[in-house]
Amino acid sequence: MSSDATATASERPAVVADGLSKRYLLWDDPRDRLKQPIRSRLSRWFRVPDKQYFHEFWALKDISFELQAGETLGIIGRNGCGKSTLLQILADTLSPTTGWCRTEGRVSALLELGSGFNPEFTGRDNVYMNAAILGLSKSEIDARYDDIVAFADIGEFIDQPVKMYSSGMYVRLAFAVAISVEPHVLVIDEALAVGDAFFVQKCMRFMRRFKEENTLVFVSHDVDAVMGLCDRAMLLEHGELKAAGTAKEVCELYRREYYGAQQQVDGVNSVLHLASAAGAPQDLDFVDQRLQYINTTQYRNDIELFAFDPTAESFGSGGARIVDVSMRDPETEAPLSWVVGGERVVFDVTVEALRNIERPLVGFLVRDRLGQSLFGDNTYLTHHAKPERVAGGRRFRSRFAFRMPVLPAGDYVIAAAVAEGTQSEHEQLHWIHDALAFHSHSSSVCTGLVGVPMLSVTMEMLEGVTAT
C-alpha cells in the first residue's frame, strides 16, 4: 500500500480499495480438507502427482474505488454478487485474498442481522461488548449508554437475552450501537430491511444528516433507496465491477438489465381496451377509469391505517401542540382504519395553541419507508389573505380533502406540522415526524413512487405503417 506521506489525514480519501479480490475454497467432501495437505506433501517428497481436491470460488475480483469524506456510495447487485463480502472487507472483519483497503478514521458497520451479538448475553451486555469492539472505552460507553437505549427504543427488553429478540429488535439495538461510536465511515448492509416503518424512518433521517460530513457505504436491493440516499453507486455481477457512476445512472442500468422482464404485471394489459369503450371521463374530479375494474381484482390498493401516535419523535419551539391526526370519511366524518387507493379521504390535524398564534400554518407530508417525500400540502395558499389569529388555550382543526393516491405495496408515514408565519418565513411550533402510519397492500402500481390517474389509455393501429 502506498500513500502520499505529506498529505494529512483529512486530505486523503476516506476509503481506498485497490484490486480487492476474495477467494474461497469449496470442498465436495469434508474429508478432502485432510487429503489436500497430505497429497501436497507427498507430491513434494516422493514426486507423487499432485491433485487438487477443491475448486475455487472468487466472491470478489479486482475491485478498486475511492471515496472522499462526505460521499455516499451505494452498492447494488443480485444475491451472490459479492456485496456483503466487499462490506466485510471494508469493515475489516474479513481479509482479502489479494489487494488492499484503507479507511481513514473510525469505521462502524451494520452487517448481517445480529452480527457481533452474543445471543446468551442481555441487550445491555451486548451494548458494552459491541461498543468496546468498535473502540469505545467503558467510560465512553457509560456516557453514551442512555442515548443508545433511547435510539433503540426496545424498552425493558434491554435487560433480556438477545436470543429472545425479534429481528426488528436486533436491528434496532445493532444500529443504535453502530452510530453511537460517532464513526467517520458507516457501512450498512441490507439489515434495515427488517425494521418497522417508524424505525426505518428514524434511521433514514440519521443517515441523511450523517452523510453531510461523513462517508456512508450502503448496500440495498432497493434501487429507489440507493438513488434517494447515495451520490455514487457500483453494480457488482459475479464478483466483478460491472458499472460505476452516479447513483441514477447505475440504478437505471440495473433496472434495465434485471428488472425489465419483471415489470409486466399479469392482467393489467387486458384492461387497456376499456379506455376507448368508456370514452373520456366527464367528472372534473378526475378518477382513473380502470379503478372500477382493478378494485375487483387482486391488484386493488388496500391501505391499512394505524392510530395517531402522540409520542412519536417531534420537535418545535413549543408554541402549539398537535393533539390528534386522523384520516376520515368525507361523507360521515368517521375516522378510517382502511381505505382503497383512489378513494376520497379527509386528513385532519387538530392543534392546541399554547400561546397566541398570529398566523397559524398547518401542513402534512407523506413519506415512504425510505423517508422520500411523496406528496403533501399546507394551509398557506388558502388562508394567507385572511389569516385567522388563534388565542392561547384554543384548539383548531385543519382539514385536507383529496383522493388517496394508488401506492406501491409497502410502509408509509405521514408527518404533521404546525407553524407560525408565512410559507417562506415561519417558526416551527410542533412537527411530528411519524404522526400517522399506514401500510399499502397489493397494488396495480408496477414502478415509481405513486400511481397517478390515467384519464385515457388507448391503443390504435396506424394505417400505412408496416415493419421493415
Query: pTM here?
Result: 0.61
Mean pLDDT, rounded, of the chain: 80
What is the band of 268 on the pLDDT scale with cuts at 50, 70, 90? very low
CA 423 to chain centre: 29
Q: Can you give the pLDDT at residue 294? A: 67
Task: Considering only CA atoms, give the Rg of the chain.
Answer: 28
CA distance 287 to 372: 25
Total Cβ atoms within 10 A of residue 48: 12
Does residue 272 have a pLDDT over 60? no
Confidence of residue 336 (pLDDT cuts 50, 70, 90): confident
Residue 382: is its pLDDT beyond 50?
yes
pLDDT of 231 above 80 = yes
Query: What does the pLDDT read at residue 289?
Result: 59
What is the average pLDDT across 443-467?
70
- The band of 143, judged by pLDDT with boundaries at 50, 70 and 90, is very high
Compare 87 and 298 and report the one with higher pLDDT.
87
Q: How confident is the model at residue 96 (pLDDT cuts 50, 70, 90)?
A: very high
Q: What is the mean pLDDT of residues 12-21?
A: 90
Q: Tell me what the mean pLDDT of segment 454-465 comes to.
A: 70
The burial of 290, by beta-carbon neighbours within 10 Å (0-12 exposed, 13-18 middle, 19 or more buried), is given as buried
- 458 vs 17, which has greater pLDDT? 17
- pLDDT higher for 241 or 259? 241
Instruction: Give the model's pLDDT for residue 2.
Output: 39
The pLDDT, as a whole number, for residue 418 is: 93
Q: For 91, list phi and psi in degrees, rounded to 5.
A: -80, 0
What pLDDT, on a 0 to 100 scale, did the predictor assign at position 297?
65
- For the chain, list the domains and their CATH numbers: 15-259 (3.40.50.300), 302-440 (2.70.50.60)
User: CA torsion angle for 203, 345, 274, 444 (degrees, to 10)?
Assistant: 20
Q: Mind listing the pLDDT tens digit for each residue in 79-94?
A: 888 888 898 898 888 8
- The tens digit of pLDDT for each residue in 176-218 reads 888 888 888 988 887 666 666 778 778 888 888 888 888 999 8
Q: How far apart are CA 285 and CA 256, in angstroms?
A: 35
For residues 26-32, give the mean pLDDT.
79
Task: Calculate what percentage of the chain has a pLDDT beyond 70.
Answer: 82
Of 8-22, 57-71, 266-280, 431-445, where does mean pLDDT reach its minimum? 266-280
Confidence of residue 266 (pLDDT cuts 50, 70, 90): very low
Q: For residues 324-351, give the mean pLDDT.
A: 89
Q: Quick one: pLDDT at residue 271?
A: 30
Average pLDDT over residues 113-138: 84
